[in-house]
Amino acid sequence: MNPLQFNLRAKVGYLLSKVQEGESLSKLLDDQLNNITEKDRALFHQLVLGTLRYWYNIKAASLPLLKKDLNNPYVEGLIYLGIYQLIFTRIPPHASISETVTAVKQLGFSPLSGVVNAVLRKVSRDQENFKQIIVNAHGLPSWLYKRLKRDWPEQIQDLCLALKEHAPLTIRVNQKQTTRNNYLALLEENHIEAKKCNFSQSGLQIFSAIPITQLPGFKEGLFFVQDENAQLASEIFDKKLDGKTIIDACAAPGGKTTHILEKFKVNKLIALDNNENRIQRIQENLYRLKLNNSNIELINSDATTWQSKENIDIILLDAPCSATGVIRRHPDIQLLRKMSDITQTVELQEKILNNMWNQLSIGGYLLYITCSILKIENENQMENFFSNHIDAKEIPINNHWGIKQKFGRQLLPVDQFGDGFYYCLIQKVI
Ligand SMILES: C[S@@+](CC[C@H](N)C(=O)[O-])C[C@H]1O[C@@H](n2cnc3c(N)ncnc32)[C@H](O)[C@@H]1O
């Protein structure tokens, strides 16, 4: 059958199988969206994201229904998709079941359509019971659950629930173009509901469901979409960055680079990243936000080896990480990350840290950041760093947000608030 003739569930099932094979959802969505009619796009998104969000909850509830492992990622994904529709959407059960069973056949697995039909009918007959089992499951891959429970024994239950929530839409008002109050007034004029963020001085949370590009002033660069907790990087520095030479060591797509340029009058900013396509995105963002000045240099290079030719006052190191703090926005991370990846990521972070530290002038500061909630990438990474660098001194971040750690501060994702982030500020003292 021509894939273009697949029903919507088959298109979702195909995409879910690709995520199971290790492809990232944002790239798949970019590639697939042209195959989805305009009127189906909202439902397509809901079904993909919803099924991935509750993947491990549904897995826990559906395993006892299967006599043996199906060993078929397409059919596994379609069963979860069917159950997601039955438990979490208002789609009539008969439509959820028949559309999903048709998808199984369209994808070439007719012999398994009877099993899928039987499982979905069973769930449909006993919806309340299954809903309880699903919402009571921790809903994470077991390696991640064990690690989080070890790292956050007191917070683990709230954390599991928070990771299933929808993250709020938060923007950062471009202070070079307008003020937060003026932009809030503009939103009110356009009947768009929003409120000021608690911790970020330029953040606004948007409540109205509206495409980002239709918010007023998108093209003019009046704002940038950025989680509130990601905005804290620039808040930590207060006025300290005026006149400084700065490296943003892992800069793409430029969220923190552009914030620094909006907030401070820097001497020079070098934005480094080893991904050429993503460097292009920094360029686009600089251009849209009207921050494209001659004192900014974009460099496509590897931060584990790159050498600076000039004295560097400040390094922002927003390290590549497990991204476990942003699972709410990217639920595919739950399927994509494996324990072995974490070990490699921690090693990469250490290499980048060591090389960038060598680029920093004495008296300068390095801000280490991750969007991870795993201590091995955060507090433990810093503990290791301080034990190997007698020239490093922690500068405590005395803010109200987050949880103070032995080194640095950790923010955990909280319903209606920001994502999981970690910050540690270090000064080079000798
Ligand atoms: C967490 S993201 C950075 C987000 C960015 N700071 C922002 O606020 O928009 C991490 C970045 O590190 C980059 N990266 C990964 N390994 C790298 C390396 N060895 N050298 C330089 N950049 C690297 C990735 O391409 C990715 O863009």
pLDDT at 163: 96
pLDDT at 183: 98
Report the amino acid identity of residue 116.
V
Is 64 a known ligand-binding residue?
no
Q: Is the ipTM beyond the 0.85 threshold?
A: yes
- Non-local (6+) Cβ contacts of 98 within 8 A are none
pLDDT at 30: 87
Q: Around Cβ 128, how many Cβ atoms within 10 Å?
A: 7
For ligand 1, the distance from its centroid to the CA atom of residue 249, given in whole angstroms, is 7
Q: Which atom of ligand 1 is nearest to the CA of 351?
A: 19
Instruction: Kindly report the protein residue whose alpha carbon is nearest to atom 27 of ligand 1.
Output: 252
Per-residue model confidence as pLDDT tens digits over 40-67: 999 999 999 999 999 999 999 998 888 7
Instruction: Kindly report the protein residue whose alpha carbon is nearest to atom 10 of ligand 1.
Output: 320
Is 321 a known ligand-binding residue?
no
pLDDT at 89: 97
For ligand 1, the distance from its centroid to the CA atom of residue 250, given in whole angstroms, is 4
Q: Which atom of ligand 1 is nearest to the CA of 248?
A: 6
Q: Around Cβ 228, how many Cβ atoms within 10 Å?
A: 26
Is 256 a known ligand-binding residue?
yes
Is 321 an annotated catalytic residue?
no
For ligand 1, the distance from its centroid to the CA atom of residue 252, given in whole angstroms, is 6
pLDDT at 1: 67
Q: Is the peptide bond before 320 cis (omega within 30 degrees of 0)?
A: no
- Non-local (6+) Cβ contacts of 26 within 8 A are 330
CA atoms within 13 A on the CB side of 283: 11
Q: Around Cβ 127, how many Cβ atoms within 10 Å?
A: 13
CA dihedral 139, 141, 146, 150 (to 10 degrees): -70
Instruction: Kindly report the protein residue whose alpha carbon is nearest to atom 2 of ligand 1.
Output: 320
Report the DSSP pairing between strands 312-318 and 245-248: parallel
Instruction: Kindly report the protein residue whose alpha carbon is nearest to atom 9 of ligand 1.
Output: 255
Which of 197, 321, 371, 424 does the annotation list as catalytic? 371
Q: In angstroms, rounded to a whole number, what is the distance separating the alpha carbons of residues 73 and 20? A: 7
Report the amino acid identity of residue 43.
L
Q: Which atom of ligand 1 is nearest to the CA of 303?
A: 20
Is 253 a known ligand-binding residue?
yes
Is 30 a known ligand-binding residue?
no
For ligand 1, the distance from its centroid to the CA atom of residue 319, given in whole angstroms, is 6
Is 273 a known ligand-binding residue?
yes
Is 424 a known ligand-binding residue?
no
Whether residue 254 contacts residue 281, with contact meaning beta carbons closer than 8 Å, is answered with yes
Instruction: Kindly report the protein residue whose alpha carbon is nearest to atom 12 of ligand 1.
Output: 250
pLDDT at 69: 81
Instruction: Kindly report the protein residue whose alpha carbon is nearest to atom 7 of ligand 1.
Output: 255
For ligand 1, the distance from its centroid to the CA atom of residue 281, given in whole angstroms, is 12
Domains and their CATH numbers in the chain: 3-137 (1.10.940.10), 169-225 (3.30.70.1170), 229-428 (3.40.50.150)
Instruction: Kindly report the protein residue whose alpha carbon is nearest to atom 13 of ligand 1.
Output: 250
Residue listed under structure tokens 């004295």: 311
For ligand 1, the distance from its centroid to the CA atom of residue 279, given in whole angstroms, is 10
Whether residue 156 contacts residue 149, with contact meaning beta carbons closer than 8 Å, is answered with yes
Ligand 1 environment, Cβ below 6 A: 250-256, 272-275, 278, 302-304, 318, 320, 352
For ligand 1, the distance from its centroid to the CA atom of residue 254, given in whole angstroms, is 9
Q: Cα-flanking dihedrals φ and ψ of residue 95, to 5°?
A: -70, -45
**Residues of the chain below pLDDT 50:** none
Please state, rounded to an integer, the average pLDDT across all residues of the chain: 95
- Residue from 172, 227, 250, 308 to probe ligand 1 pocket by mutation (most atoms less than 8 Å from CB): 250
